[in-house]
Structure 1
Amino acid sequence: MSETLSFAAPLTRWRGDRGTYHLVTIAGEAADQLAMHARLHRLEFGRSRGFGSVKVTARIGETHWKSSVFPQRKQSEWILLVSRRVMRAEDLAAGDTVRLELELL
């Protein structure tokens, strides 16, 4: 049985050494649920996934894709990268608030 999280969050632009990325920062109750899911996975399988990530199926509008969310600040926040393909399909720009649905895998 999979768990689904739904929430709204701003789309942020981050410029790094290798390019510009668009991402959503997941905080609050949704971040707590992701941290619990990661802990349960570690207990069940005896190890955590790469970088402590959690696999998800993400959905913004009509666009969905498989990805991973990555913990930040000791799992009090999580990051989901949003590709250019998704940004174009949903006509998004940095600063937009997106309605996001995550199915935890």
Structure 2
Amino acid sequence: MPASRADNTAYEFTAELWEWDAKASWFFVTVPVEISDEIDARTHGLTNGFGSVRVRVRIGSSEWATSLFPDSKQQAYVLPIKKAVRVAEGIAPGDEARVRIELVDFS
């Protein structure tokens, strides 16, 4: 399913879970470039430390608050996926997940 805009501050997309090779046990999905570009334009100059953007996330029935982080190598934001979510939703590296993110503090 392609990426989509759910409402004014929310986005939905499908992405593959991957493990960061620089630090074992850190897992992420990459936000599609077109969504990352839109988030970057919307939050330019208003980000937190390391260029992070606070979000609420839903994958399956799991919901939590975290931050997106810019990845200059991929020229997109990456979203950390904690172990409790990976276990609850039965996802592992290489699996695709349907992700909904909502920007926090931006409207």
Superposed CA deviations along residues 16-59 of structure 1, whole A, max 9, x for unmatched, are: 34x321100113211112211221xx2xxxx5310111000011
Partner of 1:86: 85
Aligned match for 2:21, one of 12, 15, 18: 15
- Once the two structures are superposed, the pairs formed by residues 1-105 of structure 1 within 5 Å of their partners are 3-17=9-23, 19-39=24-44, 42=45, 48-73=47-72, 76-105=75-104
Shift of 1:9: 0.7
Normalized against structure 2, the TM-score is what? 0.82
Q: Structure 1: which 5+ runs fail to align?
A: none
Contact 1:27 1:76 survives alignment (8 Å): no
Superposed CA deviations along residues 73-98 of structure 1, whole A, max 9, x for unmatched, are: 18831111100000011011110111
Normalized against structure 1, the TM-score is what? 0.83
Structure 1 or 2: more strand by fraction:
1
Q: What's the Cα RMSD here? A: 2.0
Question: Are the structure 2 counterparts of residues 14 and 75 from structure 1 closer, same or farther at C-alpha, using a change threshold of 3 Å?
Answer: closer
Structure 1 or 2: more helix by fraction:
1
**Bigger relative contact order, structure 1 or 2 (CA pairs below 8 A, ≥6 apart):** 1
Report the number of matched residues.
Answer: 98
* Aligned sequence identity (%): 34
Q: Which of the two has higher C-alpha Rg?
A: 1
Q: Structure 2: which 5+ runs fail to align?
A: 1-6
- Quick one: distance in 1 between partners of 2:82 and 2:43? 24
